[in-house]
Amino acid sequence: MADTNQALLLRLFMSNYSALKGRLARRLGSADAADEVLQETYLRVERTPGEGPVQRPLPYLFRIALNIAADLRRSDNRRLGRSEIELLLRLEQDELDPERVAEGRSSLRALVQALDDLPPRKRAIFMAARLDGASHAAIAARFGISTRLVERELKQALDHCRDRLEINRSQPFGTGRSASSKR
C-alpha cells in the first residue's frame, strides 16, 4: 500500500469502525472478540506496506478481519484450556505410591478371579465387548445369539464383576477410584 493508500484504508477503517464491529460481532458471536480482531486488523493495516491501490477497500478490511479471526481461533485451539491444565497438574500430583500400586494389583487379581467365576460364554462376551471393543451385533453373530441376549449377558457379567469388586452401582464400572482410595 502506498502511503496514500494505507492512509485511505486507515481512515476508512476508523470511519466505519462501528459497522465493521457490528458485522464482525454477528459473524463471531461476540462483541469482545470483534473488538480484539479489529485492533489486530488496524495494526496489520498500519504495519503492512501495500503493493497497489485496493479496488474495494471496505470488503478488503473485512476480509483482513475475518482472516485474523480465523488465525486467532486456530491459535486458541492449539492452547490448553483451564480444565486441561488442571487435569495435567492433578496427574502430576497424583503419582503412584506403593500403597496405590498394591491396591491396583489386588483389584486386578479380584477382577481376574471374578471373570474366572463367569460361565465361559458370558466371560467371552465380556472380553469381546470390553477388551476387544466389538459391537453387540458382531458378538451376537459370533455366538449365534440375539443382540438382546448379548446385552443381557454383558449386563450380568458387569453386575457380577461389580459385586465381586464391591463397586458402588452408581459409579460407572471401570472409571474413577473406589471411595476407600479417594484422597
- Confidence (pTM): 0.43
Pick from 178, 133, 128, 122: which is nearest to 155 by CA? 122
Instruction: Write the CA distances from 131 to 4, 54, 84, 108, 125, integer angstroms.
Output: 69, 61, 27, 14, 10
Domain identity same for 119 and 166: yes
Domain identity same for 71 and 107: no
CATH number of residue 142's parent domain? 1.10.10.10
Instruction: Give helix then strand counts, H and E, for the chain.
Output: 9, 0
Q: Report pLDDT for 131.
A: 86
Q: Which helix (H) or strand (E) holds 46?
A: helix 31-47
Domain identity same for 60 and 30: yes
Using an 8 Å Cβ cutoff, are 28 and 69 in contact?
yes
* Residue where one domain finishes, among candidates 78, 110, 128: 78
CATH number of residue 51's parent domain? 1.10.1740
Tens-digit pLDDT profile for residues 89-127: 776 555 666 777 788 888 889 889 999 999 999 999 999
pLDDT for 173 beyond 70: no
Tens-digit pLDDT profile for residues 57-91: 899 999 999 999 988 888 776 666 677 777 777 76
Tens-digit pLDDT profile for residues 139-158: 999 999 999 999 999 999 99
Q: Report pLDDT for 96.
A: 64
Instruction: Write the CA distances from 86 to 75, 77, 81, 147, integer angstroms.
Output: 20, 17, 9, 41
Q: Report pLDDT for 3.
A: 57
Tell me, what amino acid is at 163? D
| Full residue range of the structural domain in which residue 42 is found | 3-78
pLDDT for 169 beyond 80: no
Using an 8 Å Cβ cutoff, are 148 and 182 in contact?
no
Domain identity same for 11 and 68: yes
Pick from 4, 86, 7: which is nearest to 46 by CA? 7
Q: Report pLDDT for 148.
A: 95
Which residue shows C-alpha cell 476387544?
132
Q: What angle do CA 40, 44, 45 make, to 5 degrees?
A: 120
In a domain, 14, yes or no: yes
Q: What share of the chain is helix, strand, coil (3-state, %, to 5)?
A: 75, 0, 25
Q: Report pLDDT for 1.
A: 42
